[in-house]
Amino acid sequence: MFGALTTRLRSEIEAIRKIVALYDQIGALLYNIATPDPLAAVRGSVPNRLDFQIYNHCAALTRLYAVYAAFVDEVIQEYLRALPELYGSYGELPIAILKQHRLGLSQILLKLGETGPYSHLEETEIVTTLSRGLTGERPYKLLHDAFFVDRQNYRLETVARMFGYLGIEGANPKARINHAARRSRTWS
């Protein structure tokens, strides 16, 4: 189900790695060539070496985060598209999914307008989507925007919480370790 997504993710990360290596090589050329220098005209307009390296690596990290965030979004959307095949009716969905879908839809309805993050949605589409699910129509549809209403940087805790909205528990191994550590302290 997620094979194409992970393949594209690996490809994007490899491209970032190659670009960083290329810029490192370009930086080495710019800062290490002795005169006569064929790059003298370019060298006059480059920042100092440390600024160049910082910018290069920050650009790579920014791109890597963008690739990661897009991957998380696409995995969640793909999972949401698959749920109607896994659960015959809306009412059969795990409680966590039903709760987040309804909560998300209500938050979207509050924020609807001609501008903003939900300007592409219409009130009738939102209400109809929920109504069809609640009345048992098949196939039902989950509005994926309802699972992205609390936009934050995708730290581990945030991604784990988003997966929790999908009924996937235990996505944060740190939380399990911290919980186990707290529990062991209370027993001693």
pLDDT digits (tens, 9 = 90+) for 119-166: 999 999 999 999 999 999 888 999 999 999 878 899 988 999 899 889
**pTM across the whole model:** 0.73
Give the model's pLDDT for residue 32: 73
Give the model's pLDDT for residue 185: 55
Give the model's pLDDT for residue 168: 86
- Could you state, in order of their start, the residue ranges of all structural domains in the chain? 1-86
DSSP of the chain: --HHHHHHHHHHHHHHHHHHHHHHHHHHHHHHPPSS-TTHHHHTTS--HHHHHHHHHHHHHHHHHHHHHHHHHHHHHHHHHHHHHHSSSGGGS-HHHHHHHHHHHHHHHHH-SSSSTTTT--HHHHHHHHHHHHTT-SS----GGGGSSS-----HHHHHHHHHHTT-----HHHHHHHHHHHHHHH-
Give the model's pLDDT for residue 1: 74
Give the model's pLDDT for residue 21: 82
For the chain, residues with pLDDT lower than 70 are: 33-46, 175-188
